[in-house]
Structure 1
């Protein structure tokens, strides 16, 4: 049986002579039988060890540098929980929006917001997993934010406001990733993305008000909030010359997508 001082460091347990390492073993009884073969294999391993004067470190195999990082751990967790497809799709940040909206959008895309279907998958006992708004379909993330008849009606009015065809928002990926309406114009794409993400954010906000506070879903108030909130956040974050008047934004926001990025001012 091998007995070692538990307080000893690796350097104290191994002796180097002429570049070859030997173990400092302390036996309670001499090894014999098949243990000798195991000891021989151990000595071969030890002999190839090269020690340095540096303190014994821990090495993390998740990162090529050998250093532990939260990013490498997050990547491992995501790869195990979400699979490869989610990791291959990057959600671009939009500096026109506050961090809380981006975090919500990221969680929604990863199907991590607490819709009833996801809660049920995690073993949470619910009276129903039907959508609390339409009460007809199972409440998944995509259903809640895009496909529910009440959510779809909001999207129809938002798309009418932007003078866009309703067919460009048919699933969760369209609502979060695709910007095909203004694919050739970076400025317009950014403004449209702001509107889409705020629409998702406010739909979820009013869904929660209905579930937890029993507040009535008002189409007019939601559309007004989407228009006001998008204008407010854009007006605080866009840079440079020229301004967008509030009444212009309210009537036809797509009018501004051909212009270069500029500061939005309240008219």
Structure 2
């Protein structure tokens, strides 16, 4: 969505961008309806004004044969003796099977006629008065997420995440990680973003395709970071595959509430630092230095411990970074 503008009804509307077929399943498109007035501002073929899909999607063959592919509704007919008559023009004589499609199209259009003196406008289905509001948009998004089935293990991970004492920006990033919503190269390609053959690889080990799971867990350099961080805590584990499983297993190493809170924050901090280093490497051509990355994670956890008080620590930061924390986590 772009900059908002005030609607005729006094509410605020987001500026409408192209709502193509590919976006028809989005929460925003689902809640918009086109109310036709005189048909002077609605594309006959391109906009979904009859049903949930545009006519060019429902009748692709007729769209290709049309002489007026970009015409508005008012351009596709005329008033004759007080009745609206469709006058669709074709670039050649139609075949029998195409005539059948025209009959089907006209059947779908039957009963419609433009309303003289009234303008076309958008109607917001999520609000009774048809005017967009931020509150109704939030409710529409919430309703859509409630429709998606969430596994109990996934819900537990999210609950653990949001109950963790950590900076807001770090929690937001790790929430995106657990939802696989980071703009990694595989996700960008899935969204039809053009990514070069060289650029789509892992910036740390040059694996052919960057994904969140590879970058944050499976990359040899990331795996070394996790080994060093785990050694720092004094715990040992068999590292699982998959980000939600990795998070749960790491947290469940704890044997008390105090150590659980610390391990949650440590996992989030490690993920966040690795993601930042990825961005610095990709956009600023900085080289990964594992010793520096591990030191940054430890230093940040020292400062978080000062702020959030996971456990008592009075010694200097250098001793914090060089000590094994297992005895303090008991």
TM-score by length of 2: 0.52
Q: Distance in 1 between matches of 2:193 and 2:260?
A: 39
Q: Distance in 1 between matches of 2:267 and 2:174?
A: 10
Matched, 1:76 2:155: no
- Counterparts of residues 90-239 of structure 1 (less than 5 Å): 90-92=158-160, 93-128=162-197, 129-168=200-239, 170-178=241-249, 179-182=251-254, 184-238=255-309
- Deviation by residue 1:37-67 (Cα, 9 ceiling, x = unmatched): xxxxxxxxxxxxxxxxxxxx939xxxxxxx9
Q: After TM superposition, give the deviation of residue 130 of structure 1 in Å.
A: 2.4
2:184–2:211 Cα contact (<8 Å) kept: yes
Q: Distance in 1 between matches of 2:273 and 2:171?
A: 13
- Deviation by residue 1:8-64 (Cα, 9 ceiling, x = unmatched): xxxxxxxxxxxxxxxxxxxxxxxxxxxxxxxxxxxxxxxxxxxxxxxxx939xxxxx
Matched, 1:58 2:128: yes
Q: Distance in 2 between matches of 1:197 and 1:68?
A: 32
1:168–1:174 Cα contact (<8 Å) kept: no
Unaligned stretches of 5+ residues in structure 2: 1-126, 130-134
Q: Distance in 2 between matches of 1:173 and 1:83?
A: 16
Q: After TM superposition, give the deviation of residue 95 of structure 1 in Å.
A: 4.9
Q: After TM superposition, give the deviation of residue 127 of structure 1 in Å.
A: 0.6
Q: Distance in 2 between matches of 1:77 and 1:141?
A: 25
- Deviation by residue 1:181-226 (Cα, 9 ceiling, x = unmatched): 11x3111011111111100000000011111111110011001000
Change (3 A) 1:161 1:225: same
Q: After TM superposition, give the deviation of residue 117 of structure 1 in Å.
A: 0.2
User: Does the residue aligned with 2:201 lie in a helix, a strand or coil?
Assistant: coil
Q: After TM superposition, give the deviation of residue 243 of structure 1 in Å.
A: 3.6
Q: Distance in 2 between matches of 1:145 and 1:88?
A: 21
2:164–2:264 Cα contact (<8 Å) kept: no
Q: Distance in 1 between matches of 2:312 and 2:226?
A: 29
Q: After TM superposition, give the deviation of residue 180 of structure 1 in Å.
A: 1.7
Matched, 1:253 2:321: no
What do you get for the CA RMSD once the two structures are aligned? 2.8
Q: Distance in 2 between matches of 1:170 and 1:84?
A: 20
Change (3 A) 1:127 1:152: same
2:8 aligned partner: none
Change (3 A) 1:137 1:163: farther
